[in-house]
Structure 1
C-alpha cells in the first residue's frame, strides 16, 4: 500500500493506493497513470514511478 499527500491548487488531499507500484503523472494514452495529477501542467505525462522494494520506497 502506498500513501501520498497531494498539495494541488491550494488544497491538500491524501491518496491511498492498494498497490506496491504506481506511475505518477497526467492522463495519457501511452501509459496507465495510477496517481493522476491532471490538469497540473508542471507534471509530465509520465512524471515518476514509485514502488516498494525490500521494505523501502523507491522513486
Structure 2
C-alpha cells in the first residue's frame, strides 16, 4: 500500500516531476544481450511535457 493514501505514487512525483529522474521499465534489451554489447552510448528521446508522470520514450543504444 502507498505510504500516503492521498498520494499513491509519491515516488513517481518526487523522481519525475521534482527532480527530472526517469524510471525506465520494461525496456527490451534482448538484442543487446544477444550481441554481447557491453559498451554503448545510451540516448533517451522523450517529449518535453511538464507535470507528467508517464510518457512514451524512444531509447537508442549506439555501438
TM bin (shorter chain): under 0.3
- Could you say which structure has the higher strand fraction? 1
Larger Rg: 2
Question: TM-score scaled by structure 2?
Answer: 0.23
Task: Output the TM-score relative to the length of structure 1.
Answer: 0.23
